[in-house]
Chains A and B, each alone.
Chain A
Amino acid sequence: MNTTTVAVCGSLLMLFPLAGALVNALAGPRLPRNAVNLVGTVSIFAAFVVACVMLTLVVGAPASAKAATVSLWQWINLGHGGLSVGVDLTLDPLSAVMIMVITGVGFLIHVYSVGYMAEDRGIARFFSYMNFFIFSMLVLVLAADLVILIIGWALVALSSYLLIGFWYERPSAVIAARKAFITQVIGDVALVIAAFLIVLKVGTLSIPGIFASAGSFPSSGLLVTGICSLLAIGAFAKSAQFPLHTWLPDAMEGPTPVSALIHAATMVTAGVYLIARFHPLFDRAPVAQGMVACVGIGTAVMAGIIALSQVDIKRVIAYSTMSQIGLMIFAVGIGAYSAAMYHLAAHAVFKALLFMAAGNVIHALHDEQDIRLMGGLAARMRRTEVCFLSGTFALAGIPFFAGFFSKEGLLGFGLTNGPGAVPWILYIVGLVINVLTGLYAFRLWATVFRGEAQTARVYAAHEAPPMMLGPVTILAVLSAGLGIVLGIWALFLHANVLGGVFTSFLAPVFTTATSGPIAVDLGTWPAVLAGTIGTLASLAGAGFAARMWLQRRPDPSAVLERLPRALPQLSYNKFYFDEIYDALLVRPTIALARTTRKVIEPRAMDGWVRAIADACSELGGWARDYQTGLIRDYASYMILAAGIFVVATIVLVSR
């Protein structure tokens, strides 16, 4: 690839959203609403066009030269033995996939926002933040230096913070924004320390440079395991994985397009990207990989269970996001990088779709988010329901929808790789996740759209305006169509679907992946069997959900009470993580801060200063007592002093 072209395209790609953000931030409040909308959406569309150009660059490049790194400017250079960082961009198949997802799905969500935010007075601020988010995300995925990646990483968290707290007069939104940001900063610190370990070992922070000297890390060594664990902690914070996951449900305080863009499609998948990007290191750290895989699959199960009992439509989808990203993290943990990236792309499509369709519902019900108060919306919002159903099918992994191939692919990969009985255990856990996914996905659809209307508001609901319905429809067609196209391909050409387009496209990036085949061949009988059983599990979950929730019951969580008591309680209370963190981290810190202010500062810190001051005045006071002004006192002091002098002289002389 021509480096100049890459540099120009990369800069343009980032400049368009940045310019959009600046225009709307500075001039937005004085511009007419249409101009604000236009600036906000066109900037992302322009970026999308550039991203397409960059994709064709990568596709057109010869197989041996799929990656290009260009340097824009020197960020800092502290000389010999010091830090040296350049603002470098890298374009390769992996970043090409990411920029396509970010700008493509991002553009549709921006268009949707025009409709969703049509009555909000802060529209200029909103688009400014949204464009800035796209910019930050692009910095993150294009960065070719770890420090620049960290900058993008943190700017993404910043935009997320700004957008979660967009409605800043809502105290709950303000607290949620702060919580999200602080959690992200914990991840940032982990990344920074990982960067220290890397730079002190290999002497560079340039990502290609790190990979070039990846061989200097002894395989399974303590150092590389430590680095990868720290990177993973950063990824967990960003991707809302246990134990840094509690911010994501609260982040639903932001406007729905924000949830669709940031907390479903792009930002939260950055952790998956990070691990995939750093796979040359992770491949050398099997312990860290195992930890990542366990956390991923554990989070997937936990979030699936929680999603079953939540009653806020957006929170249900948020937990399903957490669960799906858990699967992706699991996939990168077992080395199925291509499968993970494919699920990332497919998930971006269908999860954005679900959020935006949910947004239509919330909009139609005037900001009602409690699913217990919905029901029967299908009659009034037919097209939204069809789109939502398409997303639900994709989420549950029903055959020939987008999620099917990706999910079966990565579960199948797990089955065919790994030592001893581990693959079977993982596969069984995977089946459990499939059942859970089917259950919560169809529970949501059934309680929102089917059954009896639970409030009068439902009767007044209207279908969303075309500005909102359009992007939803496009994504619905994509999430159904993508799968169908791939399915036909698989059936008639009998080609290796996942090993086909997507995997061979990403293959140059993951050449160093040590473990087994890159993806499953759907043509082999174990894969077919694994896929069939997986699908049956999903269908079982879906069918069970339909049976339970299609006839409207007063409380959709009541069904769970047939289970042992502890489980629904845990699920409904999100396993008490918020309470545990509050008790273990937040309260002790605040108590410590209070004690510092009330006790340590005045008593100890200022205390020793005042002790000296007091000692001085004591000394002065003591000396003053002898200044009596009486001649006889002074005479006795003189005699005393003279006596001491004489005695001292005698003693000293006689020695």
Chain B
Amino acid sequence: MNVPWLTVVLAVPLGASLLLQVVPRSATGAIKALTVGATLLTAVIVAVLVAAMSGTHLSPGPLGFHYEEQHSWIPAIGASYHLGLDGISAWILALNAAVFLLGAVLISRRGTDRLKLFCGLLLLTETMTAGVLLSLDLLLFYLFWEGMLIPLYFILANYGNENRGRATVKFMIYTVAGSLLMLVSIIALQYASGRGSFDITALLGGQMSRTPVVIPWVNISTFSPEQWAFLGFAAAFAIKIPMVPFHTWLPDLYVSAPVPVLVFFAGLVSKLGAYGFIRFGLTLFPDAVNTFKWLFAALAVLSIIYGALMALSETDLKRIVAYSSISHLGFIALGIFTLTTNGVNGAVIQIVNHGIIITALFIIVGVVEQRTGTRDIRELAGLEKRMPWLYAFFLVATLAGLGMPGMNSFVGEFSIMLGAFQLYPVYAVLAGVGVVLACWYMLRLHQGLMHDPPQPRTEGVRDISVRQGLVLLPLTALMVLLGVFPRPIGDVARPSVQQSVAVANGSLVATAVTIPAVTSQAGAP
């Protein structure tokens, strides 16, 4: 039987969120069980899909997929329901399933008001983000990309601390502005290519004109249409990642959002920008990407250093973690814009790794805030004595966060920096400065909380609960495991990354039109 598994991945959370509407509001146990059950089911399906991937073959074409589904949707404009899963999206989809599962587990049944609303929105968000990762049709992609904001808006606007309103408005306007630019580019792309299709496989390899647009009358030549279109996409993705200087929505939002939201927001949503760059930036605009790589790589390096400096001087725990996230996402962006196998593979690996690390860090910081009632690092000290289990988990997460060799982030950062070194050695050296700064701010955070004699705030706090421990245990175990044995991620991502990098470097023709050479001299001796 040919089960459309990708549609199932989208349908399970969506179905569960609809089902949730018939559960009475007071049956909190059932609501929570249904949410956890649905996310768990999705996670299991995704895990099986990813595990079975090595057995499947890539579909033919310059961009091959392990699983693909296509149905006609709006034939008049050439939009179709086209889903696909390859080595790049596979692990990110797995991360998606995992962080929503963790988020669902972490929801406090009694501590969250309007639980039903929250759970429903969470499940809806999962469908949308999974859709972003699976769509191969630009219009469908855009639908999911913008659709994601609807549940997110209600979550962010309704849950969290008192500053959430302002932060949410800023986030929404910021991202919508970027998304609209992307929409313009999508339409331009479809129009210019002349293929009457929104499908990525049809638009591959740069279909737009590469002659510069000249502003009439003043005769200033500007970017080519392809470059303009790329910049439209780049605006949406750079804001989502976010790359400095498009990042100011992030710290406020992360500070105001509750931990279960942060788990999937920081863990996944911010990675979608990076995913978008790999999936669409590299393959649809090879010329523009090559033109602008120095700029975006420079912005990535700026993000690394800038985020690190901010993390070094902030005193609010959540803000420190938020800026560390900006710094780490800079590494991911840097890897992508090296346009090398090493860099892009490293970026994919690092997307997964960073998802694991940032999730754990936000959970830990959340626990500390919950136990001590403060997020000010200056009021905290000596928690190692009171919370030995938290200390152990935090130690692993800290080391992973600072890119410790032997932990998961090392393999990603190493490949990314190697890729950057191939592109411009100076970028790799500056990223190295970022690594040293990362060590500094992570230790400042870790030691600031854990060491020195306990302060009044930290006297008599309890260690983490079993449930928190059960959430942190797999995360920290993965940090070590993927550090010692990172091969699975690389093996799955490798073939797809090579295809995308080949397309980005203009060898589309070589890969797509590889016709077996017909020897005209077959009869020759």
Contact = CB atoms under 8 A, between A and B. Distances in A.
Given A150-B405, A596-B313, A609-B174, A189 B452 contact: no
Contacts of A174: 447, 451-452
Interface stretch (A3-11, A191-199, A430-438, A532-540): A191-199
Nearest to B447: A174
B417 A192 contact: yes
B405 A189 contact: no
Given A590-B313, A609-B248, A199 B486 contact: no
Nearest to A597: B313
Nearest to A169: B453
Contact of A596 (B309, B340, B404, B491): B309
A604 B485 CA distance: 43
Contacts, number: 146
B245 interface: yes
A597 B174 CA distance: 21
A82 B406 contact: no
Given A75-B485, A82-B345, A169-B452, A593 B174 contact: no
B310 A597 contact: yes
A506 B229 CA distance: 63
Contacts of B79: none
Given A188-B405, A597-B310, A609-B248, A196 B439 contact: no
A79 B435 contact: no
A459 to B, nearest CB: 32
B51 interface: no
Contacts of B439: 181-182, 185
A236 to B, nearest CB: 15
Interface in B39-68: none
Interface stretch (B156-164, B187-195, B261-269, B407-415): B407-415
A451 interface: no
A18 B453 CA distance: 30
Interface string A150-175: 11011100100000010011010010
B421 A196 contact: yes
Main secondary structure of the interface of B (DSSP, over half): helix
A77 interface: yes
Given A154-B404, A168-B451, A605 B247 contact: yes
Contact of B436 (A81, A189, A200): A189
B329 to A, nearest CB: 15
Nearest to B247: A605
B418 interface: yes
A181 B490 contact: no
B312 A590 contact: yes
Interface residues of B, number: 60
A596 B326 CA distance: 14
A605 B443 contact: no
Interface in A5-34: 25, 29
A565 interface: no
A118 interface: no
Contacts of A192: 414, 417, 432
Interface string B108-130: 00000000000000000000000
Contact of A168 (B247, B425, B429, B452): B452
Contact of B443 (A78, A147, A181, A594): A181
A123 to B, nearest CB: 14
A601 B310 contact: yes
Nearest to A594: B313
A622 B406 CA distance: 60
A79 B341 CA distance: 8
Interface residues of A, number: 52
Interface in A180-225: 181-182, 185-186, 188-189, 192-193, 196, 199-200
B342 A153 contact: no
Nearest to A189: B432
B186 interface: no
Contacts of A193: 421, 428-429, 432
A150 B345 CA distance: 20
A77 B490 contact: yes
Interface in A24-78: 25, 29, 73-78
Nearest to B177: A612
A605 B248 contact: yes
Given A83-B418, A186-B436, A596-B309, A76 B411 contact: yes
Given A169-B452, A174-B451, A596-B306, A78 B414 contact: no
A165 B436 CA distance: 19
A82 B416 CA distance: 11
Interface in B472-525: 485-487, 490-491, 494-495, 498
B314 interface: yes
A165 B443 CA distance: 12
Contacts of B247: 605
Interface string A363-381: 0000000000000000000
Contacts of B433: 189
A77 B487 contact: yes
A78 B494 contact: yes
A594 B422 CA distance: 33
Given A78-B415, A151-B410, A174-B447, A596 B421 contact: no
Nearest to A178: B443
Interface stretch (B6-14, B91-99, B205-213, B382-390): B382-390
B223 interface: no
Contact of A196 (B417, B447, B450, B453): B417
Nearest to A167: B451
B255 interface: no
Contact of A199 (B418, B428, B453, B494): B418
Contacts of A181: 439, 443
B388 A29 contact: yes
Nearest to B308: A593
A605 B246 CA distance: 8
Interface string B205-233: 00000000000000000000000000000
Contacts of B494: 77-79, 82
Nearest to B170: A609
A589 interface: yes
Interface in A560-609: 589-590, 592-594, 596-597, 601, 604-606, 608-609
Interface string B269-299: 0000000000000000000000000000000
A190 to B, nearest CB: 8
Contacts of A609: 170, 174, 248
Contacts of A165: 447, 451
A154 B406 contact: yes
Contacts of B170: 609
Contacts of B314: 597
A624 interface: no
B304 interface: no
Contacts of A178: 440, 443-444, 447
A109 to B, nearest CB: 23
B395 to A, nearest CB: 8
Contacts of A177: 447
Given A76-B411, A155-B405, A165-B447, A185 B436 contact: yes
Interface of A: 25, 29, 73-83, 147, 150-151, 153-155, 158, 165, 168-169, 171, 174, 177-178, 181-182, 185-186, 188-189, 192-193, 196, 199-200, 589-590, 592-594, 596-597, 601, 604-606, 608-609, 613
21 contacts: A77-B494, A78-B415, A80-B498, A82-B341, A82-B345, A151-B406, A153-B405, A168-B447, A169-B385, A174-B447, A178-B443, A181-B439, A182-B439, A185-B439, A188-B405, A192-B432, A200-B421, A589-B309, A589-B437, A597-B313, A605-B244
Given A82-B341, A592-B309, 19 more contacts: A73-B487, A75-B487, A82-B345, A150-B405, A168-B382, A168-B447, A169-B451, A178-B440, A178-B444, A182-B440, A182-B443, A185-B435, A188-B405, A196-B418, A200-B422, A593-B309, A597-B310, A604-B245, A605-B248
Interchain residue pairs A-B with the least CB separation, the first 4 = A593-B313, A154-B405, A189-B432, A168-B451
